[in-house]
Amino acid sequence: MDAKTLFVDVLYGSKLAFQSLGLVTQTTIKRRQSKSTFKKTLIQQGIPPEAANTIAKEFRNPMSEIFSILKSNAFSKRKTVK
């Protein structure tokens, strides 16, 4: 691998890392906004605020689920086929 190819690979890898970080941040912000809107909608529909808080706490976090899937797959033992 020559120096130019290595430089281009590092450049694209860095770009991908920054884009991924931006997507994780954007997903977190959007989740908070949607959770807040969901809770406000529940309260507007007549559900008591305490119950709305309890229901909104169950609003799933997709990023933690993605990380748990990646973690479980990354550290699980692979079966070898004979």
Say yes or no to pLDDT of 82 above 70: no
Confidence tier at 78 by pLDDT (50, 70, 90): low
pTM: 0.57
Q: Can you give the pLDDT at residue 41?
A: 94
26: three-class secondary structure by DSSP? helix
Confidence tier at 79 by pLDDT (50, 70, 90): low
pLDDT tens for each residue of 32-74:
898 999 999 999 999 999 999 998 888 777 777 777 777 777 6
